[in-house]
Amino acid sequence: MGGRQMKKHFSRSSAALGLCLSLATGLAHANAADGVKIGVLTDMAGVTADATGKGSVEAARLAIEEMGGTVLGKPITLVSGDHQHRPDIGSSMVRKWYDTEGVDVVVDVPNSSVALAVQGIAREKKKLVLFSSPGTTALTQAQCSPYGVQWTYTTYALSRGTATAVVKEGGKRWFILASDYAFGKQLAADTETVVKAKGGEIAGTVFHPLNASDFASFLLQAQGSKAQIIAIANAGGDTISAIKQAAEFGIGGTQQLAAMLLLLTDVHSLGLAAAQKTYLTVPSYWDMNDGTRAFTKKFEARVGRPPTFLQAGVYSSVRHYLQAVKAANSVDSDAVMAKMKSMPIDDPFSLNAHIRADGLVVRDMMLAQVKTPEQSKAPWDYYNIVSTIPGESLAWPLSDSQCPLVKP
């Protein structure tokens, strides 16, 4: 997700080997040369483990099972590893996967700093990497790669989607509460730009320290601003703390919250009483359609809850990759990527999605609002879908691209 510094959760020793779990699907323990091998690089026990982790591995496995466990008549195998939010650990693991373990494609990769390190290795090795969980625009801007795809979302898309849609719904006067580091500042700047461009105004902006425990002074400023919308421009524990304390302050009557980055598991941690009526942008939701509900039933049987949009992105990216391998009749990275870019993305979680020249998946997203406790009719029934946001409005124009792959 954001490129913030995360806490260590395990000692570095044993990371690259002990936590790399080999998970065979279909015909087991095949030699890499005899089939396709997929590596899920994720967070098994850290701050994004609920939103990625085991669920990302199971999402990949379900995509493999949909293919019958084989492609081109050969078995598909799966390995997974925990990068611990450390670029050095993630890099060494991926290098080993590509060099000695025959991994053809790496998927997921929560944490932007890890993702950028992995992107460099994949470019060097001419191997594919499909990023479901990191949001930094650098992956498909200045540091883009012919072998990388940013699958699910960007910070640009989420802030632009929420701010545009909420202003259109009548929320003209905003106050921004953001974390005081690069990720939060970028979210705040993007939000301010969109609000003003759409005819709204910024009543004030305040920055809080990372991992803040007390948001009282910031929320009092937000209340005093008389803004209709209070934008929460941070991530993880800071988002949960800010929204929880906003509920304790009674914010939610004439003032509504808009979260620039919020996941289903965050809402679950908060509870509907605290999170209710918060606006957010989501690329997918488990209760979107019959197809997403059918997938969720299988996923929930293994993980115990519906997928986050990051985990749904892992499923979608692995599915599309395997379809492209089949269409290309090859596992060659260049041939498969060409097919992936030429084929429309076809799965229940992806709305009008395709891969651009810069490796960005452009997709329609949805403005959602968290339900009140009274509106929720079942476990995990958390969102009202307010409107659909066209994908082209959530991606920077290719004419503004810094990606060397984009022809001027």
**3-state DSSP assignment of residue 218:** helix
The answer to whether residue 71 scores a pLDDT higher than 60 is: yes
Report d(CA 393, CA 162) in Å as an integer: 12
Tell me what the pLDDT averaged over the chain comes to: 90
Q: Give per-residue pLDDT as tens, 152-177.
A: 999 899 989 999 989 988 999 999 99
- Point out which residues pair with 174 in neighbouring strands: 202, 229
State residue 25's pLDDT score.
37
Report d(CA 25, CA 221) in Å as an integer: 54
Q: Give per-residue pLDDT as tens, 381-408.
A: 999 999 999 999 999 999 999 999 998 7
Q: Which residue has the higher pLDDT, 205 or 209?
A: 205
Per CATH, 36-153+288-363 and 156-282+367-392 having the same topology is answered yes
Q: Give per-residue pLDDT as tens, 327-346.
A: 999 999 999 999 999 999 99
Q: Which residue has the higher pLDDT, 294 or 165?
A: 294
Q: Give per-residue pLDDT as tens, 41-53.
A: 999 988 788 999 9
State residue 262's pLDDT score.
93
- Count the Cβ atoms, other than its own, within 10 Å of residue 90: 28
Question: What CATH class has 36-153+288-363?
Answer: alpha beta
Q: Could you tell me the two tokens for 312?
A: 């749904």
Question: Which residue type is seen at 392?
Answer: E
β-strands 173-179, 201-208 pairing: parallel
- Domain spans of the chain, in order of start: 36-153+288-363, 156-282+367-392
**3-state DSSP assignment of residue 70:** strand
State residue 182's pLDDT score.
72
User: Residue 309 half-sphere exposure, CB side, CA atoms within 13 Å?
Assistant: 29
State residue 33's pLDDT score.
52
- Count the Cβ atoms, other than its own, within 10 Å of residue 58: 21
Burial label, 35 (beta-carbon count in 10 A; 0-12, 13-18, 19+): buried
Q: How does residue 22 score in pLDDT terms, banded at 50, 70 and 90?
A: very low
- Point out which residues pair with 366 in neighbouring strands: 282, 388
Q: Are 236 and 133 in contact (CB under 8 A)?
A: no
State residue 1's pLDDT score.
56
Q: How far is CA 301 from CA 75, 297, 304, in A?
A: 24, 6, 6
Question: What CATH class has 156-282+367-392?
Answer: alpha beta
